Amino acid sequence: MIRLSVEELVEINDFYNGSSKITITYATGNTVLLELNEDGDTELFILSKRDLIMIQRNFYVEDICEIVRSSVYGHIEVKVDESIEQYPVQISVEDGHKYYCNVEELNYIKRIIDNQKGVIDR
């Protein structure tokens, strides 16, 4: 199966949010075909079921922004439980909300946080 980067999933999530028509076809195993249509332009994506769930939850656009904002202007707490396969990382923000992701997504979030803090410190 093709493994998409977090950056690619952010773009797909953004396109998902702006689509006028969404078609999801569940294939065998862990594969999903996602068809997004916006203004007559159709894009097809092959995703894992987990990636689809994260896109539907708007994790890659809205939740990551909230985590970064909370970290830059406050505090977040990160716990990693490697015994959990799909969502081993728990990120808690100051208001008590918890987000769950994988280590690759956590590393992406950390890069954005470092970048944002660097912009603010200038």
Pairing of strands 31-38, 21-26: antiparallel
pLDDT for 29 equals 86
DSSP single-letter state for residue 60: I
Supply the DSSP string of 46-89, one letter for each residue: EEEHHHHHHHHTTIIIIIHHHHHHHHHHS-EEEEE-TT-SS--E
Of the chain, the percentage scoring pLDDT greater than 90 comes to: 84
33 and 41 in contact (C-beta within 8 Å)?
A: no
With a cut of 70, say whether residue 122 has pLDDT above it. no
pLDDT tens for each residue of 45-96: 999 999 999 999 999 999 999 999 999 999 999 999 999 999 999 999 999 9
pLDDT for 119 equals 79
Grade residue 121 by pLDDT with cuts at 50, 70 and 90: low
pLDDT for 88 equals 98
Mean pLDDT of the 30-53 span:
94
In the block, tokens 């076809």 appear at: 25
Mean pLDDT of the 88-116 span:
96
CA atoms within 13 A on the CB side of 19: 21
Pairwise CA distance, residues 61 & 6, whole Å: 11
Domain map (residue ranges) of the chain = 6-56, 59-121
CA atoms within 13 A on the CB side of 5: 6
